[in-house]
Amino acid sequence: MLARRRVFPQKSAGMEQEPTFTLRADADGAQTLVLSGALLVSGIAGLDRDLRALEEAGETRVAAIDLAGVDEIDTAGAWLICRLARGWGATITGASEKPARLIAAVRATMPATVPEPSPAPEHLPPAFALLDELGRDVTGAGHGAVNVLGFFGALMVAAGAMLRHPRRFRLKALVHQMELVGVNSLLIIGLMSFLIGVVIAQQGAVQLQQFGAEIYTINLTGRLSMRELGVLMTAIMVAGRSGSAFAAQLGTMKLTEEIDAMRIIGVSPMEALVLPRVLASVLMLPLLGFYSAVIAIIGGATVGNFALDIPFFTFLTRIKEVLPMNDLWVGLIKGPVFGLIVGMAGCYQGLQVTGNSEEVGRRTTQAVVQAIFAVIVLDAFFAVFFTAVGWK
């Protein structure tokens, strides 16, 4: 007995037969969907529309899908069959060898289960909505940490490939990024560092004058600039300036499909785009941090010359006497680590861009915020660590 039938008009000779379907009633009351013709992307639009209407009606219980009459099938047809089989919980019968292999391949790419949509937080009681939001944040943070770890691993693999094949390394790209990260930021970092040195010396002198110890302003300015604030403020400045640029550049390339085109022609984006930027940050941060500390000390010496009656060159000479070499090494050790964090945050967020141009702005903001947060946390860790090992 035929419950429903759709027959498309036949094409002219030499062309594939349009797909048709019938419903055959079985002895147990269930029905079998019998497909015939060519299930190709060029001709299944109407068939798919009618079968969706049949599914949505919910009046038909299909237990099996018979493909014995199918002449040809492509990926679109295989996906249609897999979707129908999953939706009805039906078995697939009558498929010949090639269609069966294609259907199995398509089925393997489909998710094992379709998760049930969770209720929106606004539909939950306030206490549960808060827990729901907290759970989403914790889960997202966990997934993000795993993804960042994977990104770091891919970066190390790209670096290893460059060591094995040095001729593939893009030296011009590295020099260009070093210019953008380092040379072009000298002015703004120098101005910021000079003003920070002025503030440290002025505020420190105000407090130390109460004890008649304003001469120790030199110690305060030198050690604080060289050990902590020089490299820390430089990393924050580079995160806001270069880290955001990395995210915006790679995000725009992702939207315009330039990165996909690079993969197609066999060029690794990690080697061509990410590695030069991260390496430039790692190399330039120690130099910029030292430069920042020196400029901050000069700013402190300027305040000492005009406000504390400490001659400018006497201030600088005293710095050499009171500044231990450990402070210089602490700043230089922090620099490459902070550069790695800033470069990775910008490149990682840029490569996560999907959808539209609004996503570029959102990922750029995340790159800056995450880099600054990670730098401050690591700086606190370094402070405790170096004190514990005796570099006070």
Q: Which residues of 177-209 are buried (b: 16+ CB within 10 A; e: fewer)?
A: bbebbbeebeeebbebbbebbbbbbbebbeebe
Q: Output the six-digit token pair for 145.
A: 């940490």
* Cα first-last separation, the chain: 91
Could you tell me if residue 282 is inside a domain? yes
Q: What pLDDT does residue 112 have?
A: 56
Q: Which of 65, 94, 109 is the last residue of a domain?
A: 109
Q: What pLDDT does residue 15 have?
A: 53
Indicate the pTM of the whole model: 0.68
Q: Which of 67, 82, 109 is the last residue of a domain?
A: 109
Domain that holds residue 87: 2-109
Q: Are residues 351 and 202 in the same domain?
A: yes
Q: Are residues 276 and 381 in the same domain?
A: yes
Q: Are residues 101 and 210 in the same domain?
A: no
Q: What pLDDT does residue 59 have?
A: 65
Q: What pLDDT does residue 26 have?
A: 73
Could you tell me if residue 123 is inside a domain? no
Kind of pairing between the strands at 62-73 and 91-93: parallel
Q: Are residues 302 and 191 in the same domain?
A: yes
Cα–Cα dist 270/11, whole Å: 50
Q: Which of 109, 125, 144 is the last residue of a domain?
A: 109
Q: What pLDDT does residue 25 have?
A: 79
For the domain that residue 29 is a member of, what is the CATH number? 3.30.750.24
Q: Are residues 330 and 200 in the same domain?
A: yes
Q: What pLDDT does residue 122 have?
A: 53
Could you tell me if residue 146 is inside a domain? no
Cα–Cα dist 117/325, whole Å: 60
Would you say how long the chain is, in residues?
Answer: 392
Could you tell me if residue 159 is inside a domain? no
Could you tell me if residue 137 is inside a domain? no
Q: What pLDDT does residue 14 have?
A: 44
Number of other residues whose CB lies within 10 A of the CB of residue 129: 15
Q: Are residues 363 and 219 in the same domain?
A: yes
Instruction: Give the residue ranges of the chain where pLDDT is below 50.
Output: 1-14, 114-116
Q: What pLDDT does residue 242 have?
A: 93
**Total of domains in the chain:** 2
Could you tell me if residue 160 is inside a domain? no
Q: Are residues 185 and 287 in the same domain?
A: yes
